[in-house]
Chains A and B, each alone.
Chain A
Amino acid sequence: MRALTWHGKHDVRMDTVPDPEIMNPRDAIIEVTSTAICGSDLHLFDGVIPGMMPGDVLGHEFMGRVVEVGPGSTLKKGQRVVVPFVISCGKCFFCERQQFSACDNSNPAEKQDLSEPLYGHAMTGLFGYSHLTGGYPGGQAEYVRVPFSDVGPIVVPDGLDDDQVLFLSDILPTGWMAAKNADIEPGDTVAVWGCGPVGLFAIQSALLQGAGKVIAIDEYPGRLALAKGLGAEVIDFTQTRVREALMEMSGGFGPDAVIDAVGMESHGWAPDAIMDNIKQMVGIGADSAHALRQAILAVRKGGRVSIPGVYGGYLDKFPLGALMEKGLQIRTGQTHVQKYLGELLHRIGEGQIDTTFLISHRLPLEDAVRGYQNFRYNQNEWTKVVLKPGTEVRA
């Protein structure tokens, strides 16, 4: 089959690799009909996530048709399913408590040794996201083997298009959980850093969960326009002093809750961001977190800090003093996708949530490399790329 593979920093290629087979009783094989490039794939593209090996198949946002099932799968051939990017067994302590992204059993035993010393506990298995999370071949391919297929994939009705439901795999539940983690009370003011796909879904989710006002922060006019379209007020950080503006736009309180939808590759020209970026460049492994620092200083006393943005290592100059002295609560984590799927699919079906506004480009899978380059270097216009296996590349 054809698949998008990683070969090094800024080096991804279309390769032919062997088709997957059923390996375990609860497996299913999915023929991919739509698969997206995620902002977190850019962390892999930029080489800032450890544990990648040349030839790894990327992609963790995908859906398709079931073409083969193991004896323990509850899926049937021909069903259309969206597959969560988190692989969860459904049987362990964590899965029973719906903390699916903390599943104990999906990361292969020998791979768990990689992340245990790094984080104190082994990470859960994810599709296409380095060997720290299992080294599972990902979804930017024609076929994917889906382990624990009786727990993860959600069957979608034929009345809904791929574009309407594809983002159930990651970014929609991630934005939804980001807003849940902000514990929004009716009328709250919520500030969201980053108007990428997760930030935009966090804005939409915060409003649905009762926020009175959402303030979105980014620098790209294209992305800020999308945020405005969802009902947010916007701040362009290249024009405006963000913390001062947030104070003025929230009655001098500061936002009740803040959401960092930027993560470890935060950029800009603030001194701390420049230092972080230099350290990342020379490989001394600090995460860049200007947005998070700013969010912690901006949030009101006793407020909530939600971090859906991805971080991988250590952080310098973390304003722990502000966190303690202001009595803040901080919540984060990889998304417990399976927990939110049913409710979100229902809301999509009811027309409460639209996901299609986000898609700026649809490309054949064969054109994936071009998709990565543009998504990385033309963020203003390329907000979300969906890849379609089996479609022709147009010249």
Chain B
Amino acid sequence: MRYAQGYRNRPDYSKALLVLGLGLGAVAIGYVVATRKPNNSVSFRPEDDAPTRTGRTKPAGDAAVVGRTITINRPRAELFTFWSDFSNLPKFMQSIESVGVDGDIATWKVAAPMGRSVQMETRITANVENEVLAWASTETSELKGAGKITFKDAPAGRGTELEAELSYVPPLGEIGVLIGKLFQTDPLIQGRRELRRFKMLMETGEIATNKNHKTQE
């Protein structure tokens, strides 16, 4: 009886040893895999044809670059004309509260987290009819950034390939990016939603909603 009791009170190391053994085994396998010389090593890799923003490493510099391509089943000229008139943009851009245009200069009121808004002033830097539209923030702009929309005929009569690229200097740097993602005001999230809304508006004449009544939040 006493022997049995004593035996039971002895610490049992078998489980710990098993875990340790498995752990060591995993480390050993990991080491072999990590240091294994690949069968086919490549010493030089030329640049590929993919857009830079799809690269595995971030390009150098403060600016974050985001972009997205979307095919819209409408003629290039129609899309370009609509987009060139900046007063149309708040129709599908929920992050733009208002826009004022004075020649090449546009003043934007952009929605920011916690119900605030930020001012952005841009100057047109390129305007090639039915092909490209680009802008960059001015010296006095609160938000810094640049954008470019490229319009190309899509293959096989599919309409227009629209490529939007935005570079911006996030306020507060990396933390600003995180805050933006948290409140879904991050330009990548906003941008892709706005491109989808633009496509909906151009293709169907309306923007899809699951809301069932106008006062619904």
Contact = CB atoms under 8 A, between A and B. Distances in A.
Q: B-side binding surface: helix, strand, loop or mixed? A: loop
B193 to A, nearest CB: 4
Given A113-B189, A113-B193, A106 B208 contact: yes
Given A23-B214, A96-B73, A113-B193, A91 B203 contact: yes
Contact of A21 (B158, B194, B199, B214): B214
Contacts of A24: 206-209
Interface in A14-52: 18-21, 23-26
Contacts of A23: 209, 211-214
A19 B216 CA distance: 12
A92 B196 contact: no
Contact of B158 (A72, A93, A145): A93
Given A105-B199, A108-B208, A148-B204, A93 B73 contact: yes
B213 A21 contact: yes
Contacts of B57: none
Interface in A139-173: 145, 147-148
Nearest to A137: B212
Contact of A20 (B192, B194, B197, B212): B212
Interface string A128-140: 0001001111000
B177 interface: no
B203 A112 contact: no
B78 to A, nearest CB: 13
Interface string A111-130: 11100000000000100000
Contacts of A131: 210
A204 B203 CA distance: 38
A108 B206 contact: no
Interface in B142-193: 158-159, 189, 192-193
A265 B149 CA distance: 46
Interface of A: 18-21, 23-26, 72, 89-93, 96, 104-113, 125, 131, 134-137, 145, 147-148
29 contacts: A18-B213, A18-B216, A19-B213, A20-B213, A21-B212, A23-B212, A24-B208, A24-B209, A25-B205, A89-B203, A89-B204, A92-B204, A93-B158, A96-B73, A104-B199, A104-B203, A106-B208, A108-B208, A109-B200, A109-B207, A111-B210, A112-B196, A113-B193, A125-B208, A131-B210, A134-B210, A135-B210, A136-B210, A148-B204
Interface of B: 71, 73, 158-159, 189, 192-194, 196-197, 199-200, 203-214, 216
Given A108-B208, A147-B208, 16 more contacts: A18-B212, A20-B213, A23-B209, A24-B208, A25-B205, A26-B204, A26-B205, A72-B206, A91-B73, A91-B203, A105-B208, A125-B208, A135-B210, A136-B210, A137-B210, A145-B212
